[in-house]
Amino acid sequence: MKLILAIDVGGTFTKLGLVSIEGEIISGRLFKTGARQPFNEFKKKLSEEIEQLRTTTTKTYTIQGVGIGAPNANYKTGEMINPPNFSWGQRVPVKKMVQQLLNFPVYMTNDANAAALGELYFGAGKNMKNFVVLTLGTGLGSGIINEGRLIYGQHGMAGELGHVNVFSEGRQCNCGLKGCLETYASVTGIKRTVYELFADSNAESLLRSVSYEDLTGKNISEAANEGDIIALKAFEYTAQILGGKMADTVAHLEPEAFILTGGLSQAGDLFLKPLKKYMEAALFNTYKNKVEIVLSKSTSTEAVLGPAALALVGLKLK
Ligand SMILES: [Zn+2]
């Protein structure tokens, strides 16, 4: 059986999987990334976990190649470039490290690009050729599929919609710029909005007693579902900003759909309905009522399907 070794490096957990060409996860493992520990520690742990994965998989198989998805990873250089929340340095040579560990072809790209390929071959984008994946988690990641191919750009960093500008003197972003989309349209962004609304309004809210640290996308959606005015306003404002920027993206690419994933997307209709409304309102006439907004169906254990798809494309098996 021909399999891909897929590695999804996250800020908290790293997931490993042996994945078939059809996208079946034959076996998997999960371990703490240790993003704040030295990179060498990660290397040691990764090598042990891969060994465990390979020895505990009972089926007979051959590994064809390795796919890696990681935050801020560059497809062309094989490095993670200034990954926020990691203490591994400014240019982290992850691809080279994995190549030294394993004697297989290795492919790497950023996590949102990998997710877009996962959707294209195994997920909600299976029957589409033109779509944009938005990962709405701690930050906002994006991957663009055009005519059935992932867009990399000249230097391997295309599709950073999280850092398009919303307000020129807006919120401070981790990247050094001000007013980036991800400071509004992400789980962190909606938390900042909730706190802004607290300051501007006297309205009672279930969320006022929750500390900023304890505030999550989940408890904001729960409050909104109970009719909490602040929570509802926070979703409305987030949808207004993101919907406007999605309309801009439509003008650039004319996709058939946006596929949403990540913590903020789990709010479902609460977020999707206003998002659709604001996107439609901002669309150029010819694009109106043609672009769908859908939710990704893939679960967190299926995060390895993205990097697996990346390697399959690289090996020309897809
Ligand atoms: Zn930014």
Over residues 155-176, the mean pLDDT reads 94
Q: Report the candidate in 161, 114, 169, 167 with the shortest Cα–Cα distance to residue 139.
A: 161
Cα of 24 from ligand 1 centre, angstroms:
36
CATH of domain 2-111: 3.30.420.40
Cα of 140 from ligand 1 centre, angstroms:
10
Over residues 207-228, the mean pLDDT reads 95
Cα of 8 from ligand 1 centre, angstroms:
23
* Model confidence at 58: pLDDT above 90: no
Contact yes or no for 293/272 (Cβ under 8 A): yes
At residue 6, φ and ψ (nearest 5 deg) are -110, 135
> What is the spatial distance between Cα 264 and Cα 105, in angstroms, rounded to a whole number?
35
Is domain 124-295 given the CATH code 2.30.29.30 in the classification?
Answer: no
Same fold flag, 2-111 and 124-295: yes
pLDDT tens by residue, 10-20: 999 999 999 99
Where are the domains positioned within the chain?
Answer: 2-111, 124-295
Over residues 152-176, the mean pLDDT reads 94
Check residue 297 and give its pLDDT: 93
CA atoms within 13 A on the CB side of 208: 13
Could you tell me the pLDDT band of residue 301, with boundaries at 50, 70 and 90? Answer: confident
Cα of 61 from ligand 1 centre, angstroms:
43
* Model confidence at 85: pLDDT above 90: no
Cα of 175 from ligand 1 centre, angstroms:
4
Cα of 174 from ligand 1 centre, angstroms:
6
Over residues 194-209, the mean pLDDT reads 96
Over residues 5-34, the mean pLDDT reads 96
Cα of 165 from ligand 1 centre, angstroms:
8
pLDDT tens by residue, 224-243: 999 999 999 999 999 999 99
Tell me the whole-structure pTM to 2 decimals. 0.94
Cα of 307 from ligand 1 centre, angstroms:
25
pLDDT tens by residue, 123-136: 999 999 999 999 99
| Per-chain mean pLDDT for the chain | 96
* Model confidence at 300: pLDDT above 90: no
Cα of 177 from ligand 1 centre, angstroms:
5
